[in-house]
Amino acid sequence: MRYVFTLTAKHKEANTTMSYIDTLKTINTTELKTQMLDAATDATDTYIRDVLKGEDAFACGFAWVNIYPKFKGNTKDGKAERKVIKELGFELDYTGKRFSLWNPSKSYFQNIDCKEAGARAAAKVLESVGFDAYANSRLD
C-alpha cells in the first residue's frame, strides 16, 4: 500500500511562515538598512532631478514606510521579528501595532511626491525579503 502526503492549506502556511522566520534569522540588518536607504535616496533624487527639475515645488507633505509584524510580540518569533525591525531603524507607531520609518530618503525637499517615491522604493526593498511593508504619506 502506498501513501501519498499532500500539503493542506495549514501545512503550506506553516512552510511559508518557517521560511520567513528563517530569512529573518539570516538577515544582515546593516546591509539591508543600507540597501533600503540607498534605494529611497536614489528614487527621491531621480524624482527631484527628472520631474521637479531641481526645484522644490508643488504640494508639501510627509512620507514614511510602515512594517506590519506577522507575529504577536509576546511570542518567540514575534520577539525575533521585532528585534530585526528595530535594528532597521523603525519605531513603534501610535497604534502600537506597526512600525514606522519617516522620510527614509532623508530629503530636505518639502515636495510630497519625491518623498513618496523614496518611501515606495524603501518598501519594495523590505518586501523583497518578506516584510509586510507599505509606503504612506499625508499632505501638510
Residue 3 belongs to some domain of the structure: no
pTM: 0.84
pLDDT in tens, 60-117: 999 999 999 999 988 999 999 999 999 999 999 999 899 999 999 999 999 999 999 9
Residue 2 belongs to some domain of the structure: no
Residue 22 belongs to some domain of the structure: yes
Phi, psi of 51 (to 5 degrees): -100, -50
Among 108, 110, 112, 89, which residue's Cα sits nearest to residue 100?
Answer: 89
Q: What does the mean pLDDT of the chain come to?
A: 88
Residue 107 belongs to some domain of the structure: yes
Residue 4 belongs to some domain of the structure: no
Domain coverage including residue 78:
9-139
In sequence order, which ranges of the chain are alpha helices (DSSP H)?
Answer: 9-26, 29-50, 76-87, 112-128
Q: Cα separations (Å) of 125 from 35, 100, 119?
A: 7, 15, 10
Whether the per-residue pLDDT at 6 is higher than 80: the answer is no
Question: Rounded to an integer, what distance in angstroms lies between the CA atom of residue 37 and that of residue 119?
Answer: 9
